[in-house]
Every structure is written in C-alpha cells, then in structure tokens.
Amino acid sequence: MKKIPLYVKILAGMLLGVLFAMIALQFTGGVAFTKNWIKPFGTIFINLLKMIAIPLILASLIKGVSDLKDVSRLSSMGIRTVVFYLFTTVFAVSMGLIIVNIIKPGYAIKEETRTQMLASYGVDAVKKQQEAELQKKAGPLKFLEDIVPDNVVKAASSNTTMLQVIFFALLLGVALILIPEERARPMKSFFDSMNDVILKVIDLIMKTAPFGVFALMAALIAESPGWDIFKALGKYAVSVVSGIAVLLFVFYPGLILLFTRRNPFQFIRQISPAQLLAFSTSSSAATLPVTMECIEKNVGVDNEVSSFVLPIGATVNMDGTSLYQAVAAVFIAQAFGMHLDLQTQLGIILTATLASIGSAAVPGAGMVMLVIVLAQAGIPEAGLALIFAVDRPLDMCRTVANVTSDCTVATIIAHGMGKLEHPSITERS
Ligand code: ASP
C-alpha cells in the first residue's frame, strides 16, 4: 500500500479533532471528557516541541556557523553572502510585521472567546501585563544587556532566555572557526552528529503530530466554541500568504531587475522547478540539489558561486520562515489580548531573524523555533496550539520563499563577481 504522506495524516488529525469536539459538545460531560482525557495529549505534543528547542539551537547554530569556515577563505564572497542574506531576512520580518499590524488577524477573536481561551490555557494576563510594564521602564539598551547571559547553564534552563543561548552558540561557532582545524575537528564532529540526532528527534516528534493536532483541535473547539477563532485563523493565514506573495512577486523580482538587469519573469521561470519542489516537500534541504541545478543550468550561475552560496542559504537564509514567525508571534499576542509595543516588535525583528537562521531546513522546523520568538517577547507559548492546524500549508508557502531568496542572492552575487553566464540555449529561446 502506498504510504500516506505526513501532511495528509496531520490534516486528517485536524478534521477528526474538529469532528470529535462537535460530537463532544452534544453530550453533557463531553467538554470535561475532552479536557481531562484528550487535551493532555495536545499539551504533551507542544511540550515535546518546546523540549527540543534549546538542544536544536545549540546543535544547529554551532554546526551552521562552524560550517562557514569558508567565510574567511572566500572573504569577499562570504561577506556579500552574509550581508545579502541578512538584508533579505530583515526585510521579510519587517514586511510580516507591517502586514500583521494592518490585518490584525488576532483581533477577529471576540472578547468572551478570548477570556475563555486565557482561562483554559492558564495564562496569567495580569502577570504578563506587569512584565510588559517592567520591560517598558527599562533603559533603551536593556535588550542588549539581556542578550548576554551571566550564566550559560541558567540561560539554557529556561525557554524565555533563548536569545542568550543563541548568543552563546554563535560565539562557540565563531571560536570553532578561529582555532586550528585539527583542534576544532572533534568538537565540530560532535555537534554535526548532535545536529543529525536532534533532527531525527524532531522527525520522531513530527510522527506524533497527527495525534497531537487531533487533541489540540478537539480541545480548542470544545473549550471555546466561538467560531471567531476560525475567522481569525483564516485572516492569519491570509496575512502570512500575502507577505510571502509580496516577497515572491515584488521583492525578489525587484532585486533581480535592480542588480542584474535581467528579466525577473524569465528568472522565475528558470527556477520554477525548485520552487515547485520546495512547495511539495516543505524542505529547503530536500530541494537543494534541484535548486543548484536550476541556478547553474537555467540561470547560468557559475558553480563556484552556487556551491558556496546555496548550501549556506538552505540552512541559514529563510525569509519565508522569518516572515511567518513574526506574523505568528504578533497574531498569538493579539489573540491573547496583549498589546505589543514598538520596542517588543523591534525585538521580534531580531529574534525572528535569529530563529530563522537557526531553523533546520526541514518541514515544520520554523514552528519549533517560533517558541524562541514567543518566549523572548513574553507571548504565551500555549498559543502554538492555535496555529498548529494551519501550519503545514503555510510551511509549503514559506519554503518556496526560502528557496527563491537563496536563488535570488546567488544570482546577484554571481553577477557582481562576473560569474553569471548567459542562460543556457534552451532557456534563451
Ligand atoms: N520548511 C522550511 C524549510 O525547509 C523551514 C520552516 O519554516 O519550517 O525551508
């Protein structure tokens, strides 16, 4: 029998969860049953995701940074790559923030539904408000102070200080590059292998996703029967997709036109096989071989550039993911009735950029790393339950943006270095 793809199972879990809740609502005691016997499995699933976040940051960032060994060797290409990747990512997060502040998807949830939600997720709104007040009173450089841990073990013991763990991981990665290669090798292979193991753990966790989603959806609906949640989720999905559309149809074509003077539509056609594969696999890593082929054969980028820029891009450059993380974080905050001031939103630009760099290029990784953005901005992580159901289709879209961004930057860099040939004969005709 043909294997059923995971996303179909997740979708089925979601639909069955909705169905289950609708039936439970018809019976007295149905809601209590869902709360006592079904909801805990949803909580366990979210806990699994949160559990893996810190080890994932450590392994993937240390591996990612130490893989950049070539940055020093190929310094000019390396620096250009890093600058362009950062630029596109920061643009994407800002785009996401603008759109989510215009559409305000979380405000589609009515006050009474919100109160019920807060009660059922056990979110102490007053405490959060006080924390926010404290944050406001802090000096302008408080966020910088907060990034540097005074004790790394303490930092790693709480999901709310993940930025500190990221800082430490980046520092370790850089130091690994700076010491002689043979001295760095044992630690590097340790973190390489740890990274593989963590990715496997995520794979295993994702296998339980259909059940997790079933429980989350059932609890979500049974406990807050307001249909406004679905309206809000719809608006949230529209916010993410429209942000990605701006990237795909305006931003990247604009960059191609501006920097290479090539026809952006032709460029999109040339990389479309990679985009389609990204959409269907939700993984920039799985798409990488096709991305390389499109960029070299169809676009005409020299292998010297593509073999350096694209693999790094697949692991660290995730515009779609960062945009999504910003939208999701603000959406969850809105849904819980929190007001995010400018400083917190600027903080989201930083954390979403870092979180997208740390996200693995596999399906669903962006959502695991979203925990960091939420924790850092003081947004209840329980909100993940809210967005999980629609995550897969959004993952497919954001992966297309991730891959397109890698292709765009590779083409621009190749052009700048005189390594962009004319497109192949077949493409030119
Ligand atoms: N699936 C994305 C990628 O591989 C990462 C994510 O946002 O989950 O590019």
- The residue whose CB lies within 8 Å of the most ligand 1 atoms, and thus the one to mutate among 93, 284, 404, is 284
pLDDT over threshold 60, residue 417: yes
What's at 49, amino acid-wise?
A: L
Secondary structure letter of residue 424 according to DSSP: P
In whole angstroms, give the CA distance from residue 408 to residue 411. Answer: 5
- The residue whose CB lies within 8 Å of the most ligand 1 atoms, and thus the one to mutate among 283, 324, 368, is 283
At 362 the three-state DSSP class reads coil
Which atom of ligand 1 is nearest to 320's Cα? Answer: 7
pLDDT at 426: 44
For residue 66, count other CB atoms closer than 10 A to its CB.
19
In whole angstroms, give the CA distance from residue 21 to residue 15. Answer: 10
Cα–ligand 1 centroid distance for 54 (angstroms):
18
In this structure, the chain runs to a length of 429
Ranking 213-217, 348-352, 408-412 by mean pLDDT, the lowest is: 213-217
In whole angstroms, give the CA distance from residue 393 to residue 11. Answer: 10
Most confident of 144-148, 270-274, 306-310, 371-375: 270-274
Instruction: Provide the mean pLDDT of the chain.
Output: 83
Tell me, rounded to whole angstroms, the distance of Cα 18 from its chain centroid.
Answer: 26
Task: Yes or no: say if 145 and 36 are a contact pair by the CB < 8 Å rule.
Answer: no
pLDDT over threshold 50, residue 429: no
pLDDT at 131: 54
207, 210, 216, 221: CA torsion to nearest 10 = 170
In whole angstroms, give the CA distance from residue 73 to residue 76. Answer: 9
pLDDT at 231: 85
In whole angstroms, give the CA distance from residue 233 to residue 239. Answer: 10
pLDDT at 119: 67
pLDDT digits (tens, 9 = 90+) for 56-71: 778 877 877 777 665 5
Cα–ligand 1 centroid distance for 392 (angstroms):
10
* Confidence class for position 195, pLDDT limits 50, 70, 90: confident
pLDDT over threshold 50, residue 424: no
Sketch out the chain's domains with CATH numbers. 6-428 (1.10.3860.10)
Question: For residue 140, what are its two tokens?
Answer: 């302008």
Give Cβ neighbours of residue 276 (< 8 Å, ≥ 6 apart): none
Around ligand 1, the residues with Cβ closer than 6 Å are 282-284, 318, 321, 359, 361-366, 395, 398-399, 402
Tell me, rounded to whole angstroms, the distance of Cα 327 from its chain centroid.
Answer: 10
Which atom of ligand 1 is nearest to 361's Cα? Answer: 4
- The residue whose CB lies within 8 Å of the most ligand 1 atoms, and thus the one to mutate among 362, 368, 373, is 362
Cα–ligand 1 centroid distance for 119 (angstroms):
32
Cα–ligand 1 centroid distance for 399 (angstroms):
5
* Confidence class for position 2, pLDDT limits 50, 70, 90: low
How far CA 413 is from CA of 83, 295, 297, 305, 335, in Å, comes to 11, 12, 16, 8, 41
Rg (CA), the chain: 22
pLDDT at 42: 86
* Confidence class for position 425, pLDDT limits 50, 70, 90: very low
pLDDT over threshold 70, residue 399: yes
Mean pLDDT of 286-307: 85
Cα–ligand 1 centroid distance for 116 (angstroms):
32
- The residue whose CB lies within 8 Å of the most ligand 1 atoms, and thus the one to mutate among 247, 281, 398, 405, is 398
- Exposure string of 190-227, with b = 16+ CB inside 10 Å and e = fewer, is ebeebbeebbeebeebbeebbbbbbbbbbbbbbbbebe
Percent of all residues in the chain with a pLDDT value above 90, rounded to a whole number: 32
| DSSP3 helix / strand / coil % (the chain, rounded to 5) | 85, 0, 15
Global pTM? 0.76
